[in-house]
Each structure stands twice: as C-alpha cells, then as structure tokens.
Amino acid sequence: MIKLDSVNYNIDQKNILKNINLEIHPQDFLSIVGPSGAGKSTILNLLIGACKPSKGDVFVNNVNIKYLKPQALQIYRRRIGMIWQHFHLLPGQSVYENVNFAAQIFGYNKIKQTNLVMQALDRVNLTGKAHHKIHQLSGGERQRCAIARAIVNNPYLVIADEPTGNLDPKSSNEILELLTDINQSGMTVVLVTHDQNLVNQVNRRVILLKNGEVKKDIANSGYIHH
C-alpha cells in the first residue's frame, strides 16, 4: 500500500534521511521510534506530501505522490487522518464542531455529517460531551476529540505523531486502546512515539530510526533497544 523506495531527504546539504526503503501494508500498525533528530517526523511529512524526497520515491496505492499537483495532493490528504501531540483543535468551537469541520470537506449533506460525527464521537466515548467547548475538556478528552476528527471520514491511513506526549499514563493507555481499535477496524496506523511503554503494549511491528537510517525493522515485537 505504502512504499518508500530509496528515499533520501536533504536540507542544506545535511542528510536527514538516507536511503530509506520501507513498505507499510494495509492494516499494519507500525510504530516508529528513535532519538530526536532521527528523521521520524520527516517520514510522516513525506507520507502526507508536506515535503518531497530529494531522491527516491514515495508510492501510495501505486501512485507516486511526489508528482501530485497541489489540488490532487489536497484530495489525497483527505483520506489520511492526522493526530498530533498538541491536538490542533479549534479552541472556540465545541467538540461536535471540531469533528464536523473535518466531515464537511467531502461535501456531505447535514444529515450525513451529523451521522458521521456522532458515530466518530461514539467510538471515542465522547457523545456526552459533544457540545462542550474544547477548554472544558481534559487533555485525554481533547486527544480523543482529535482522534474522532481524524477518523470521521473513515481514512485508510491514520498517522499519530507523539499522540500521548502531553498525557498522563492513564490517558495514554486510553489513547493506545483507541488506536488499536481503529487499526482492528481496518485502518492502517503509523505511530511515532518516544514512549517505550506504548511500543511494548502495542506488540506489533516497530522500526528504529537512527541518524536518518532504518537500523531495525522487527515484526510483532513489543520492545526494541535504542
């Protein structure tokens, strides 16, 4: 489904990624770990088309996304659910409005939008707080709202960039359970994290990046040494 083929990424003659060869299959749950500066976020930016490889290719469903024009890239991104460490929610809006903001991009009618939003909120156990403002939520609830927004349009790929970085252990576990459920429902999940405990709990495929290179790629392994 996703293939990084001999990918290099350079900034000011500095090699951020070096000859990355990586395949992510449908319904994979892939954790990417490694020290700061290893290139983890750069891989995510390549997957969403926010940057283009200096060398090599990025294929998604046999389409080389580095050649997509801006409009086609925008359409491509609609099928990717993004979850960030800092939530990136609309602070003055309600939970419902934040999730509906994503549902609107496909031009569904109001009834369809409402159904999609309420289904997504149900999946993250936030139906009772649909009309709460974001500032009324705990950190864990904000991230659950962000997850609902990411999955409202049933994307085939969900990318989570340090989704538990601002959360306590209990909330982190809840977020991990949600990501696991999302994956089991058929969505591919790519998780970037510094949290070794999360990787242990997932017990799925994990790759270790160091100095812009894939040092280890282990299937069904909960622990990987840095």
- For residue 188, give its domain range: 25-52+80-218
Residue 224: per-residue pLDDT: 57
Q: Comparing 52-61, 199-208, 212-221, which segment has the lowest mean pLDDT?
A: 212-221
Domain count, the chain: 1
Strands (E), the chain: 2-11, 14-24, 29-33, 55-60, 63-64, 80-84, 157-161, 188-192, 206-210, 213-218
- pLDDT tier at 125 (50, 70, 90 boundaries)? very high
- Rg, the chain, Cα only: 17
Q: Is 225 within the bounds of a domain? A: no
Closest Cα partner for 155 from 75, 89, 88, 87? 75
- CATH of residue 189's domain is 3.40.50.300
Residue at 96 is within a domain:
yes
Residue 226 in any domain: the answer is no
More confident residue, 133 or 202: 133
Within a domain: residue 223?
A: no
What is the reported pTM? Answer: 0.91
Q: Is residue 188 part of a domain?
A: yes
Between residues 3 and 218, the one the model is more confident about: 3
Does residue 198 lie within any of the structural domains? yes
Residue 14: inside a domain: no
Quickly state the pLDDT bin for 199 (edges 50, 70, 90): confident
In this prediction, residue 219 carries a pLDDT of 81
Q: For residue range 68-78, what is the model confidence (pLDDT) as tens digits?
A: 999 999 999 99
Write out the DSSP string of 126-190. Answer: -GGGTTSBGGGS-HHHHHHHHHHHHHTT--SEEEEESTTTTS-HHHHHHHHHHHHHHHHTT-EEE
Q: Is 57 part of any domain?
A: no
